Amino acid sequence: MASTVQQEPVTHRKQGFIRRYIFSTDHKIIGIQYFLTGMVMAVIAGFLAMLIRLQLAWPGEKWEFLGALFPAGMEDGIMKPEFYLSLVTMHGTLMVFFVVSFALVSGFGNYLIPLQIGARDMAFPFLNMLSYWVVVPACIIMLVSFLVEGGAAASGWTAYPPLSAVKEAIPGSQWGQTLWLLAMALFIVSFTMGGLNFVTTVLNLRAAGMSMRRLPLMVWTLFIAAVLGLLAFPALTAAAVMLLFDRHFDTSFFLPSGLFFGNKLLPNEGGTPLLWQHLFWFLGHPEVYVLVLPALGAAFDILPCFTRKPIFGYRITIYSLYAIGFLSMIVWGHHMFVSGMNPYVGEFFSIGTMAITVPFAVVGVNLIASLWGGAIRLTSPMLFAVGVIALVGTGGLGGIFLGNPTADIQLHDTYFVVGHFHFMIGGVTLFGIFAGTYYWFPKMFGRLMNEKLGKLHFWLTLLPFYAVFFGQHFQGLGGTPRRYYSFTKFTFLESLQGLNLFISISAFVLGAAQLIFLLNFFWSLIKGAKAGDNPWRATTLEWAVPSPPPHGNWGEKLPVVYRWPYEYSLEGAPEDYTPQTVSPEEGQVTT
């Protein structure tokens, strides 16, 4: 017996400004709130990246104006090593959890899921609002940690103990690390609330006729990302609680016996830092897929619209997503090949990692095949979607090197790793966000973004991106270690100095190019051309409502879905696209 879903038509009671735009329970406003918060954090985290590259290009240089900005970390304008480590840590943490998670998963997720499945809102709007207002203090705590004594956390975004567990280990391990853990705890609470909402909404609130096999792949990828998040984040919660105990209640969960810091023997005994690595990567690896999959989903939604043909391999893509999701939960050990591991265990993780490449390659090939024979229009969203394919391919190939323990022993902790993961959780996700923004901006704000600026933004992002992160692969092959704040002291790296400078300059171009996007975004918000309901002539449900959609999305009656989401260039149909809501009587049915 199946129970019907009760979805009352929303009464359009006038709401005040605060209820409507600040403490809003409307999924669209919450999505935009997440998106804009992610954008602010991206500017900050991107600025940190620029500082990192500045230091690596000209180590020990004096920068008066930065000295005024960071009096503690850059006394007299010269960067301290511990401040460099704080920068690396905070850049990673903010980008992974507070930019990509916010904009791509929570932002687009909240905005698109109810629209694309034909629901009025998320299953639990109040929980949704709560999830946003829990991460706001998390953002503030993260940023405030730069101001406390010792500065922000400096043990990397992975927060490996003992560096993160022993307060006197490094200046950033004082209050900075505690604040980092608290902010992360708040983030996890919020992400859990969001994930519960996503999964429940997709399962229970689909409109009549919207079977799982008719969901757009954006919803599919967000759904699988939410499931992965729900399964993986508890391990990090447990680890964070234990690390807080190690830091403040003298336990030794992650601290082994006989640990010396500053000629002082620590009293801890019996713990092991390996445990943290296991717990962290049990989250950390699925988290990569939480972030990457929705970017692929966005590409899958955008490609058919600008090739005017259905995507290739819808069903096999869904099966591949299942496989990727499952395998991603059992390969965390490939981050720990050099941490001291039984070679047989390493072999297990290595085989799992290699196995992931199969469904991933299927997804990649489906993306490429979706272009085949299409009437391609290279608009800004399309360019970025194609960029996603390129980056998945390049980044994925690097992953095959790293997933192999023999190669990993050489490449571990070098810039090869840095280059690889920036392609995946840096590039794929960022290009996915940009593609999605150019594509759904008209729906969100009712105006089109500027095409010329969009194309300029694309080329000025793609080329420097490859210059920076492909270059880092070669730096890594040459043995450049990551997290060092200066390479000038090593004779074996002398031949790579030119490349290092080239990467820094490319990084500045990459950073500056993002200003074009910001300009385009805010200019289009005010001055962009009016979009209309369906400017791209797309088929999925969100284009069947006005732009921007009203509160409650669907007016009096919920939509009924008759077909799959990629019905383009159907033979005998009046248009080259047939929306999901067109019934067989009104248009052709496919078999």
Partner 1 sequence: MLKATHDVTQSSWGGGISPFAVGWNKLMMWLFIITDGLLFAGFLASYGFARLSSSQWPDQLEVFHLWFIALMTFILISSSATMATAVRGAERGHRATVLRFLLLTIVGGLVFLGMQAYEWTTLIREGARLYSNPWGVPQFTGYFFLTTGFHGSHVFTGVLILSITAVRWKKGLSSAEGVELTGLYWHFVDLVWVFIFTLFYLI
Binding site for partner 1 (CB under 8 A): 1-6, 117-118, 123-124, 192, 195-197, 199-201, 203-212, 214, 230-231, 233-235, 237-239, 241-242, 245, 249-253, 267-272, 275, 278-279, 310, 314-315, 561-564, 583-584, 589-591
Q: How many CB atoms lie within 10 A of CB 524?
A: 21
Distance CA 510, CA 472 (A): 15
What are the tokens at 218? 């954006």
Distance CA 336, CA 412 (A): 9
Q: Nearest approach, Cβ of 308 to partner 1 (angstroms)?
A: 17
Q: Is the dihedral of CA 142, 146, 151, 152 positive or negative?
A: positive
In DSSP notation, 431-445 reads HHHHHHHHHHHHHHH
Q: How far apart are CA 43 and CA 47, in angstroms?
A: 6
Report the distance separating Cα 192 and Cα 190, nearest Å. 5
Residue pair 328/228 in contact by the 8 Å Cβ criterion? yes
End-to-end Cα spacing for the chain:
29
Query: Does a cis peptide bond (omega within 30 degrees of 0) precede residue 81?
Result: no
Q: Which positions ≥6 away from 311 have C-beta within 8 Å?
A: 217, 300, 303, 304, 317, 366, 370, 566
Alpha-carbon span 223 to 230, nearest angstrom: 11
Q: Is the dihedral of CA 366, 371, 374, 377 positive or negative?
A: positive
> Given the structure tokens 């190690």, which residue do they identify?
246
Report helix, strand or coil for 261: strand
**Of the candidates 333, 338, 345, the residue with the CA atom closest to the CA atom of residue 282:** 333
Q: Which phi and psi angles does 588 have, rounded to 5°?
A: -70, 150
Between 196 and 363, name the residue whose CB sits nearer to partner 1: 196
Q: How many CA atoms lie within 13 A of 306 on its CB side?
A: 21
Distance (Å, whole) CA 406 – CA 488: 29
Phi, psi dihedral angles at 265 (to 5 degrees) = -80, 125
